[in-house]
Amino acid sequence: MKEINTINSLALTFFIIIVTILLSLNNRTINSTIITIEKGMSLSTVSELLYEKNVIVNQDVFKAKAILRGLASKVPTGKFLLEGKVSDKVLIDLIFKKGPIKLKLMIPEGLQSDQLFKNINTLLKTDYDFKKYFSSEKIIQDFNIEGQTLEGYLYPDTYYLYHDSSPAEIIDILITEFWKQFDKNLLNRANQLGFSVHEVVTLASIIEGEAMLDSERKTISSVYHNRLKINMKLQADPTIQYIIPGPPKTLSNRDLRIKSDYNTYQNYGLPPGPINNPGIESIIAALYPEETDFLFFVAQGDGSHAFTTNEKDHEEAKRIYKINKRKNR
């Protein structure tokens, strides 16, 4: 009996020694390495990939540790950044818990969707064709959007995307955030004003295109609300910039005569839809305009505007601006 106990004790000691040795394997320092785990890869394939990249020393040990933690069937996909002192535990935690690398996408307020999609493709190093999603009837209906495209509803904010995020996933994230921001309180306010969500977002996009200072958003909004009330053309320069290809430019009289439903110098009321993707401050400004009698405003060259109630004062404000502009040359 004592001999059996001695044998068992020796076996247990030997087992502990073996486990200790195994646990110490695969601990090493590596340079910055990115590995990509494709969809459908098994734990064995991932172990082989890590071995080929010289990240681990022993595939079987790595697999065993992952299996013991119940992770064999939970292999994630994406790109993973490995660097510094890396052990099996660190690798397993990084791959199965922390997850793939996320890339930071910053969407500024007022960005047009074409440029937004270019930025996404640049960030992800892809060439996704977003056009079919941008005007997809199914997506527009699924997200209860009244327009014919997604312009205006791709909410500007900071997001973190995976390398393999699909166009549909990205658009879902952006529009879902829009509806989080445009909550019941804002919906109720739109109803009070007799505006649809689409009209609010359209007006907000024009305000976004005009406003350089947060303090002026509601004042600019008041000008457009006042014009809409008396059926006066909005004459909003950003709507002209929207229909002219390329970067913003100084508008000419010829530009103001362009035939387009978006030309608010030629047509009454709001254009058919948003001209960019406005932020929440412009949306709120569209819903809560300042109470003024202003019907005109002109840029002052420093981001601010001069607001006036009549055309005579407006022309004088423009004259003063031109004089100051010449002086500052």
Ordered domains of the chain (ranges, CATH): 23-98 (3.30.1490.480), 104-181 (no CATH), 206-294 (no CATH)
Nearby residues of 211 by Cβ (< 8 Å), 6 or more positions away: 217, 220, 282, 285
- Global pTM reads 0.81
Structure tokens at 172: 């879902």
Render pLDDT for 104-143 as a digit per residue (tens, 0 to 9).
999 999 999 999 999 999 999 899 999 999 999 999 999 9
Q: Which helix (H) or strand (E) holds 28?
A: strand 28-37
Render pLDDT for 34-69 as a digit per residue (tens, 0 to 9).
888 888 889 899 888 888 887 887 888 888 888 888
SS3 225: helix
Report the 10 Å Cβ neighbour count for 236.
Answer: 26
Render pLDDT for 150-204 as a digit per residue (tens, 0 to 9).
999 999 999 999 888 899 999 999 999 999 999 999 999 999 999 999 999 999 9
Give residue 81's pLDDT.
78
Confidence of residue 94 (pLDDT cuts 50, 70, 90): confident
CA 259 vs CA 61, 228, 240, 268: distances in Å: 70, 21, 10, 13
